[in-house]
């Protein structure tokens, strides 16, 4: 590891020791942050898996009911039955801070346009269509939560990677450079001190010989 190009002085040594202490502390804090983000990321991945399985199961069920409804109803009758919606969904987006990452939170408000949950009469429709409408209405909250969790996991993964690079830069580049430079300056200062003592001893011996 190449050391830093600095002058081997006591002032520079003091400055580098302070930088080293800050780097070591920063390295520990970043490692703790990375570990906590990893723990939360794993929780998000597990939650994402559970939600995706639930959403896929309910959507598959709704699609199956639609297929059955289409089998017993004409295409025109089916299109007319679901042409006019009975509900309106309003979405709003806000942010939540997770380990210095602003992850999205989706709020929604369902407003009924009519008093009935079904946009059609029951005379010309099938029970399978009713089941599909009910299932799709129930899956919406989980579908929005799944979108939240997936985006949060993606953003957290990006932040984990950035933090990992910072930790590695401190652990394998900056801290070793500082330690090597501190060791080099310390060695140079010790050599200078020994040289100074040697010169002082020689001067002392010369003065003593003159007095004799």
Is the pLDDT higher at 53 or at 123?
53
**Was domain 10-205 assigned CATH 3.40.190.10?**
no
Q: Where does 92-174 have alpha helices with state H? A: 127-169
- Asked if the model's pLDDT at residue 122 lies above 80, the reply is no
Is the pLDDT higher at 104 or at 77?
104
DSSP state letter for 4:
P
DSSP state letter for 3:
P
Task: Give the pLDDT score at 207.
Answer: 72
Indicate the burial class of 99 (C-beta count within 10 angstroms; 0-12, 13-18, 19 or more): middle
Domain ranges in the chain are: 10-205
- Asked if the model's pLDDT at residue 37 lies above 90, the reply is yes
Distances from the Cα of 91 to the Cα of 99, 109, 116, 134, angstroms? 25, 7, 22, 20
Cα–Cα distance for residue pair 66/78, rounded to 1 Å: 9
Average pLDDT of the segment spanning 185-206:
81
pTM greater than the 0.85 cutoff: no
Average pLDDT of the segment spanning 43-69:
91
Average pLDDT of the segment spanning 12-21:
94
Distances from the Cα of 198 to the Cα of 8, 189, 191, 195, angstroms? 20, 14, 10, 5
Task: Give the pLDDT score at 114.
Answer: 64
The gap from C-alpha 190 to its chain's centroid, in whole angstroms, comes to 47
Cα–Cα distance for residue pair 156/8, rounded to 1 Å: 43
The alpha carbon dihedral of 146, 151, 155, 160 has a sign of positive
Is the pLDDT higher at 75 or at 100?
100
Task: Give the pLDDT score at 186.
Answer: 92
Digit-coded pLDDT (tens) for 137-166: 888 889 999 999 999 999 999 999 999 999
């Amino acid at each position: 590891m190449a050391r830093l190009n600095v002058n081997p002085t006591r002032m520079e040594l003091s400055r580098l020791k302070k930088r080293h202490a800050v780097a070591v502390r920063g390295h520990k804090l970043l490692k703790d942050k990375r570990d906590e983000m990893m723990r939360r990321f794993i929780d998000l991945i597990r939650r994402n898996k559970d939600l995706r399985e639930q959403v896929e199961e309910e959507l598959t069920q709704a699609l199956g009911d639609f297929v059955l409804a289409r089998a017993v109803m004409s295409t025109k009758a089916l299109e007319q039955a679901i042409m006019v919606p009975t509900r309106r969904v309003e979405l709003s987006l806000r942010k939540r801070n997770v380990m210095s990452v602003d992850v999205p939170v989706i709020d929604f408000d369902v407003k009924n346009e009519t008093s009935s949950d079904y946009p059609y009469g029951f005379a010309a429709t099938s029970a399978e269509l009713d089941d599909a409408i009910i299932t799709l209405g129930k899956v919406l909250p989980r579908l929005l939560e799944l979108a939240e969790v997936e985006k949060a996991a993606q953003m957290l993964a990006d932040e984990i990677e950035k933090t990992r690079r910072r930790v590695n830069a401190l652990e394998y580049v900056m801290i070793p450079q500082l330690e090597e430079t501190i060791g080099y300056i310390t060695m140079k200062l010790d050599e200078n001190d020994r040289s100074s003592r040697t010169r002082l001893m020689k001067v002392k011996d010369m003065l003593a010989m003159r007095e004799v």
